[in-house]
Amino acid sequence: MVIGIVRQAVQYKKKCGTESPLISEGEYCCACGEALRMLGEDALLEQVKPMATVKEVKALVLPVFEKALEQAPENPEEKRLLHLLIHSRVVGEITDEIRVLFDS
């Protein structure tokens, strides 16, 4: 996996006008880390980094992302990022190689 490519894919999906879901554990972790930093949830980010699966991460962060989306940020890219994370179907394992993407 190339970290730069995953990061670029997430940036593209934030700007894309058509439906472009997060399709991999790497994309989910990259987007999740970006969203948690954007929301000032650094402590929560540190909590999710060691988790073994995306499913575990989602259980913890989904309420935070849903609340943030309800408050409707002005920036359309921020809204899109939250929407991508809330509606993601990714549930796989988070390997050490993928885990670094939380900080990308």
What is the pTM for the complete model shown?
0.93
- CATH architecture of residue range(s) 3-103: Up-down Bundle (1.20)
Let me know: does 102 contact 65? Beta carbons within 8 Å. Answer: no
On average, the pLDDT of the chain sits at: 94
Let me know: does 26 contact 6? Beta carbons within 8 Å. Answer: yes
| Cβ neighbours for 50, distance < 8 A, ≥ 6 positions apart | 99
What distance in Å separates the CA atoms of residue 103 and residue 99, rounded to the nearest whole number?
8
pLDDT tens digit string along 71-87? Answer: 876 888 999 999 999 99
Domain regions of the chain by residue span: 3-103
